[in-house]
Amino acid sequence: MASWRRRLPSLPLLGLLSSLLLIQWPQPVAEASNAAAAGGVHHSLIRKPTSPNVPVFREAPAFRNGKTCGSPETSPIHVSMTLDANYLRGTMAAVLSILQHSTCPENFEFHFLCARFEPEVFSSINSTFPYLRYKVYRFDSNRVRGKISKSIRQALDQPLNYARIYLADMLPFHVNRVIYLDSDLVVVDDIAELWEVNLEGK
């Protein structure tokens, strides 16, 4: 059952800008829940992050850009990013830019990959984007232990950089397509257009 999912690294990927990938894998025949997933319901309580390492962000408005959005039949646009206290500013800017420029910001489901659970990071996401639908997955750094070349640039030697390769294993079965974004970009148009690109079975 799980064997096809391990084939992801060999799948051709579209948009090989290093920072942006649209990844699709075959439609699974059954759904399975992912035990590592957390999050879901949202609240509008504003809590200050407790750690001095996490900057304080202003609460983003509840974007409502399109009149015809929000139908329960609309299938979500899945976006995945890494989440790390050191790059939180970048992640916040990226998420804001996606919501701001999309016609239906309520359509998104974010899948955050993190190397460790940092409660102050999650409470910062919660307070900045109270309406964000997201799940968090822990990436076990041991999966890439010994596989990262010693000669690689220092900026790339963090195991979390390679978590994207394991997306198919980490995300729930019903997610069969995902846009992966690095944490150092802003999106300047409706990402739904990228989501709708036909990969023609590639």
Ligand X SMILES: *[C@@H]1O[C@H](CO)[C@@H](O)[C@H](O)[C@H]1NC(C)=O
Q: Under the rule (CB under 6 A), what is the footprint of ligand X?
A: 39-43, 119, 122-123, 126
User: In the bound complex, what is the minimum distance in angstroms from residue 54's beta carbon to ligand X?
Assistant: 11
Q: Are 160 and 142 in contact (CB under 8 A)?
A: no
Tokens of residue 195, six digits: 């989501």
CB of 33 to ligand X, least distance (A): 16
Nearer residue to ligand X within complex by CB, 6 or 116? 116
Nearer to ligand X, 102 or 126 (CB): 126
Which one, 24 or 123, has the nearer CB to ligand X?
A: 123
| Count, residues in the chain | 202
User: Residue 134 CB, nearest distance to ligand X (Å)?
Assistant: 9
| Lookup result for tokens 């759904």 | 31
Q: Cβ of residue 69: shortest distance to ligand X, in angstroms? A: 22
Rank residues 12 and 52 by Cβ distance to ligand X and give the closer one.
Answer: 52
Nearer to ligand X, 130 or 159 (CB): 130
User: Measured from the CB of residue 157, what is the shortest distance to ligand X in angstroms?
Assistant: 28
Residue holding tokens 């957390």? 38
Residue 38 Cβ vs ligand X, minimum distance, rounded to whole Å: 7
Report the residue number, 17 or 41, with the smaller CB distance to ligand X. Answer: 41
3-state secondary structure of 80: strand
Q: Are the CB atoms for 42 and 110 separated by under 8 Å?
A: no
Q: How far apart are CA 171 and CA 180, in angstroms?
A: 12
Look-up: residue for tokens 């690689």?
152
Burial 45-84, CB ≥16 within 10 A → b, else e: eeeebeeeebeebeebeebeeeeeeeeeeeeebbbbbbbb
Q: Helices 119-128 and 88-101: crossing angle, nearest 10°? A: 30
